[in-house]
Amino acid sequence: MTAEGCKHLDHIHRVTPSAKGCEECLRMGDTWVHLRECMECGHVGCCDSSKNKHATKHFGATHHPIMRSFQPGEDWYWCYVDQLMFEVE
């Protein structure tokens, strides 16, 4: 997995996570499966395996193209626009 083919790498920034869990699920008192962090603004949302899919909803609302796994030990990114998973070296 390389970033080759992704045209949105300039949207990867040093961000501060917005929460320690899915921001919206925490407010709702709901649960999630895995977490994703937006590389444009730091929003933490739940993955598409979670019932609420807040990370994808965040992309839909903001058009911030790249998120990364917010799971310990995982170091991969996803570009919603290019539909590409990759790692950054």
3-state SS class at 43 = coil
pLDDT score, position 1 = 62
Name, in order, each residue with C-beta under 8 angstroms of 69's C-beta and a sequence gap of 6 or more. 34, 35, 36, 37, 75, 76, 77
* Cα–Cα distance for residue pair 2/55, rounded to 1 Å: 22
pTM of the model: 0.94
pLDDT in tens, the chain (89 residues): 667 889 999 999 999 999 999 999 999 999 999 999 999 999 999 999 999 999 999 999 999 999 999 999 999 999 999 999 999 76
Pick the CATH number of 9-86 from 2.60.40.1180, 3.40.50.300, 3.40.50.720, 3.30.40.10: 3.30.40.10
pLDDT score, position 88 = 77
